[in-house]
Chain A
Amino acid sequence: MFDAIVIGSGMSGGIAAKELCERGLKTLVLERGRKIEHGADYNDWMQPWELPTAGQVPEDVLEKDYPIQRQCYAVNTATQQYWVKDSQHPYETPEGKPFSWIRGYHLGGRSIMWGRQTYRLSEMDLSSNARDGHGIDWPIRYNDLAPWYDKVETFIGVSGANEGLPQLPDGKFLPVMPMTDGEKLFKAAVEKNFPDRKVIQGRCAHLTEPQPHHIELGRNPCQYRSLCERGCSFGAYHSSLSSSLPAAQRTGNMTLVTDAIVHSIVTDPKTGKATGVRIIDRLTKQARTYEAKVIFLCASTIGSAQVLLNSRNDANPRGLANSSDQVGRNLMDHVYGPTVMGVMDGPDTYHRGRRPNGLYIPRYRNVESQNESYLRGYGFQGGVMRQGWRGVAGSEPGVGKELKERTRHPGPWVARLSGFGEMLPNPENRVTLHASKVDEWGIPQLHIHCEHGENDKALGRVMLEDAKAMLKAAGATITYETGRLHPPGLGIHEMGTARMGADPKTSVLNKYNQAHDVPNLFITDGAAMVSSGCQNPSLTYMAMSARAAYHASEFLKAGTI
């Protein structure tokens, strides 16, 4: 019997495990995937000429095993080990309504491959549902999360600068990564022409200057290699493997079991409380049960919904913690796809090192009040860098010495912006268990129905126009533009399938991420999100995980769960 079980070792589960262990709870971490060794299992040592098939995954393999995962920019031969084979982990979507579920099943989950952009939600984000009536109100406000943002940022290490923007709260930052000269020009032009907009350096979970608590965990300063998605042997960005799990491990309170696929959560029919979880061994396919006083479900937004739905029993025919019928509903991602690039003039300077970060333009629409024809808003990620050799070589015709001579030199400044928009919660966007199909472990497959609504599409359109206008204001000549929205899911910010709320009739979790129906069950990954904001969400999952771990351990102490 453990004090706590954490299901999933990714971004959320890693922090939950650390916090529970540090609070003295004997904690079992269950991970469905294989064990990965920090450092030894990474490919970050591979030089460009050592990459298998020049970094390109064989096309037949992509088609057969990775038809969904291949859509993600980070898939290459150096990261291939981190993506699920879609052929082995199928799910269904309705005809013509694709959803791209991008994931990795291994120790650390997607905390290894993530893009490391790290932003807080603001008071505006946490009151947006209340403001316009879409979705239900969040049961928490910014002040509830702020101390936990502080704590998590300090622990993981976030590079960034304080900007004093109400819609993107400041935080506890390590030194910022400076802008290129092209970016400084771009920032000046945008801020002059659009007084409501700010161009800031991206905030990212990298150690620009490790603090003693990072060094203690064996973490090192960022080397500016931009090989991060392969896993970083320097431990310079936050992942479960470099950071949260080692912190949990050193307390002596963590037990880690990999290759353990959680099938369902077991409850006591008399009390309605969770008593443990039932797992299927990935390799032997044998079932086992583990028991604990409290359970943290951190299997990722869709994975956690699957576990809840599959924990159906006589008392809970719709699935566990689902008296509200909200489990699996309100699936959101960020509106993502519109991208613009352009060539611009700038000073005769270059840059050295590969900065694993870029520019960020925080949301500026409907900030103070609702004043656009559409709801909510969007932000941009981007950068202004010298065009690299491949673009220079391919930009215009040329062969022989001429081609070599041109490609030898850094190209012109290229500005690039991609939008990330807030997607509205919609109860019809949902995951359900397939009526008959099961996976090779006997677990029901998922059916995912998710599509962009009119407001989401409207954001995509204005995003594109704004990006073009900002590039033009900086004097850029547009060389590439697309307004096409990617299928939902490809923003890889899926969330919302077990939302928080004050009312058990309309929500799954209370303000402590505690299931209304099952007091010793906490869900602290993206499933808990009530609205999506437009910021990259992982920091919020980690803050909720730390906060819920505190409350759960207090409730245990007090004997109330």
Chain B
Amino acid sequence: MKMIEMDRRRMLESVAALIGAAALPLDAMAAAAKAPAKGKPALDAPTMALVSAVADTLVPRTDTPGALQVGVPARFAGLLQNWANAEHKAQFLAALAAIDTAAKTEAGKPFTLLPASQREAFLRTYDKAHLKVDAAYTKLKDLLVMLYYFSEPGATVELRYEHVPGAWEASIPLTPQTRAWAGANVG
């Protein structure tokens, strides 16, 4: 067993070295996704303001960072530019605009101009009426929420993430303090 332990440590070191050193082919793509291409912004200023307000209301700052602190709006813009096709991009933008339209008719103001407390009350009602009913809204919410929990603070400060757990513990106690594991492939 000792030998295996040592081997494992050596392996971990070499993996760490690899992360530092290797020029991996997907690096460029990763960078592209993080920082939307210079020049024309991926989304115009009013749309960025709207998605920021929606993301902030969905996942606000509490005792941990919220969507704005972890950069969800910029990542969302990056995904619309580098991942979504034209049709889905339009659907996401329409789902955002629909929130704004509803705010105007139901709360009397564009969503971004509502005070924070009203935003939350409005979006709670809107969410109840639209989640799992309105496919475009459901996808929009899933995407914004996913970008938050996939972010480093979302995964490691709000939830818990171990890139290399090193063990499978099939049964550990669950207490009111237990945080969920982040990452993909977690059930």
Q: How far is the CA of A44 from the CA of B158 in the complex (A)?
A: 23
Given A179-B170, A215-B4, A233-B15, A389 and B180 contact (CB-CB distance below 8 Å): yes
Chain B interface category by residue count? 35 or more
Which residues 134-187 of B have a CB within 8 angstroms of A? 138, 141-142, 145-147, 149-152, 155, 158-159, 161-174, 176, 178-187
B187 A400 Cβ-Cβ under 8 A: no
Contact of B165 among A52, A220, A352, A394 (CB under 8 A): A352
Q: For residue B64, which residues in chain A have a CB less than 8 angstroms away from its CB?
A: 404
Query: Which residues from A are CB-within-8-Å of B113?
Result: none
Among residues of B, the one whose C-beta sits closest to the C-beta of A181 is B171
Q: Which residues of B contact A53 (CB under 8 A)?
A: 29, 33, 78-79, 82-83
A54 to B58, CA, bound (A): 19
Q: Which residues of A contact B7 (CB under 8 A)?
A: 215, 220
A72 CB to closest chain B CB (Å) equals 15
**Whole-angstrom distance between the Cβ of A79 and the nearest chain B Cβ:** 10
The answer, yes or no, to whether B22 is at the interface (CB within 8 Å) is yes
Indicate whether B25 reaches chain A with its CB closer than 8 angstroms.
Answer: yes
Report the minimum CB–CB distance from B148 to chain A (whole Å).
9
Nearest A residue to B138, CB-CB: A394
Contacting pair B172 A350 (CB below 8 A): yes
* Chain A 178-216 interface mask (CB, 8 Å, partner B; 1/0): 111100000000000000000000000000011000010
The chain B residue sitting closest to A58, CB to CB, is B83
B167 near A353 with CB under 8 A, answer yes
> Quick check: B178 and A404 within 8 Å, CB to CB?
no
A409 touches B185 (CB 8 A): no
Q: Inside 8 A of B149's CB, which chain A residues have their CB?
A: 389-390, 393, 407
- Of B84, B179, B186, the residue contacting A409 (CB under 8 A) is B179
Please indicate the chain B residues that have their CB under 8 angstroms from the CB of A399 in the complex: 57-58, 120, 123-124, 127
Complexed CA–CA distance, A390 and B141 (Å): 11
A39 at the interface (CB under 8 A from B): yes
State whether A223 touches B170 (Cβ < 8 A). no
Which of chain A's residues 372-422 have a Cβ closer than 8 Å to chain B? 383, 385-394, 396-404, 407-411, 414
A57 CA / B78 CA spacing, docked (Å): 13
Asked if B24 is at the interface (CB within 8 A of a chain A CB), the reply is: yes
Q: Shortest distance in angstroms between A159's beta carbon and chain B's nearest beta carbon?
A: 10
Contact with B along A427-440 (1 / 0, CB 8 A): 00000000000000
Q: Is B105 an interface residue (CB 8 A)?
A: no
In the complex with contacts A51-B30, A224-B168, A63-B85 CB distance below 8 A: yes
Contact (A404, B174) CB under 8 Å given A59-B88, A355-B168: no
Sorting the interface of chain A by its residue count into under 10, 10 to 19, 20 to 34 or 35 or more gives: 35 or more
A287–chain B nearest beta-carbon distance, Å: 29
Q: Quick check: B170 and A351 within 8 Å, CB to CB? A: yes
Establish whether residues A352 and B19, one from each chain, have CB atoms under 8 Å apart when the complex forms.
no
A408 touches B158 (CB 8 A): yes
- CB-CB under 8 A from A50, the residues of chain B are 30
Which of B83, B84, B159 contacts A408, CB < 8 Å? B159
Do A410 and B174 touch across chains, with their CB atoms under 8 A apart? yes
**B45 contacts partner chain A, Cβ-Cβ < 8 Å:** no
| Cross-chain pair count, CB within 8 angstroms | 226
Measured between alpha carbons, how far is A220 from B60 in the docked complex, in Å?
Answer: 42
Q: Which of the residues B15, B32, B159 comes within 8 Å of A45, measured between beta carbons? A: B15
Q: Are A349 and B163 neighbours in the complex by a CB distance under 8 Å?
A: no
From known contacts A47-B163, A390-B142, A397-B128, infer whether A404 and B170 are also in contact, taking CB-CB under 8 Å: no
Q: Which residues of the other chain, B, contact A394 by a CB distance below 8 angstroms?
A: 131, 138, 141-142, 145
Tell yes or no: A323 within 8 A of B by CB: no
**Closest B residue by C-beta to A416:** B187
Contact at A393–B83, with CB atoms within 8 Å?
A: no
Please report the C-alpha to C-alpha distance between residue A556 and residue B42 in the assembled complex, in whole angstroms.
65
Residues of A within 8 A of B184 (CB): 48, 55, 226
- Complex Cα gap A396–B185 (Å): 21
Select from chain A the residue with minimum beta-carbon distance to B54. Answer: A399
Interface membership of A56, Cβ < 8 A: yes
Q: How far is the CA of A220 from the CA of B123 in the complex (A)?
A: 50
A316 within 8 A of B: no
Tell yes or no: B59 within 8 A of A by CB. yes
B123 cross-chain contacts in A, Cβ below 8 A: 399-400
Residues on B with beta carbons closer than 8 Å to the beta carbon of A49? 150-152, 155
Task: Name the residue of chain A whose CB is nearest to the CB of B11.
Answer: A220
User: Are A349 and B165 neighbours in the complex by a CB distance under 8 Å?
Assistant: no
Q: How far is the CA of A78 from the CA of B172 in the complex (A)?
A: 30
Q: Is the C-beta of A454 less than 8 angstroms from some C-beta in chain B?
A: no
Chain A residues with Cβ under 8 A from B174's Cβ?
348-350, 410
Selected contact of B187 from candidates A77, A391, A398, A408, CB within 8 Å: A391
**Cβ contacts A288-309/B at 8 Å (1 or 0 each):** 0000000000000000000000
The B-contacting residues of A in range 24-53, CB under 8 angstroms, are: 39-40, 43-53
**Interchain CA distance A44-B124 in the complex, whole Å:** 38
Q: Which of B24, B78, B85, B141 contacts A60 (CB 8 A)?
A: B85
Q: Is the CB of B180 within 8 A of A45?
A: no
Among A52-106, those with CB < 8 Å from B are 52-60, 63, 77-78, 80-81
Contact B57 A400 (CB under 8 A): yes
Alpha-carbon distance between A493 and B75 when the two chains are bound, in angstroms: 38
A223 x B165 contact (CB < 8 A):
yes
Contact A48 B127 (CB under 8 A): no
A215 touches B3 (CB 8 A): yes
Question: Would you call B178 and A410 a contact (CB within 8 A)?
Answer: yes
Contacts of B179 in A (CB 8 A): 408-409
B residues contacting A by CB (< 8 A) are 3-4, 7-8, 11, 14-15, 18-19, 22, 24-26, 29-30, 32-33, 57-60, 62, 64, 75, 78-79, 82-85, 88, 120, 123-124, 127-128, 131, 138, 141-142, 145-147, 149-152, 155, 158-159, 161-174, 176, 178-187
- In the assembled complex, 15 residue pairs joining A and B whose CB atoms fall closer than 8 Å, in A order, are A52-B32, A54-B83, A58-B83, A209-B4, A224-B167, A348-B173, A349-B172, A349-B173, A388-B187, A389-B180, A397-B124, A397-B127, A400-B57, A409-B179, A409-B180
A-B contact sample (7 more), CB < 8 A, given A226-B184, A409-B179: A40-B18, A57-B83, A223-B164, A391-B187, A393-B145, A398-B124, A407-B149
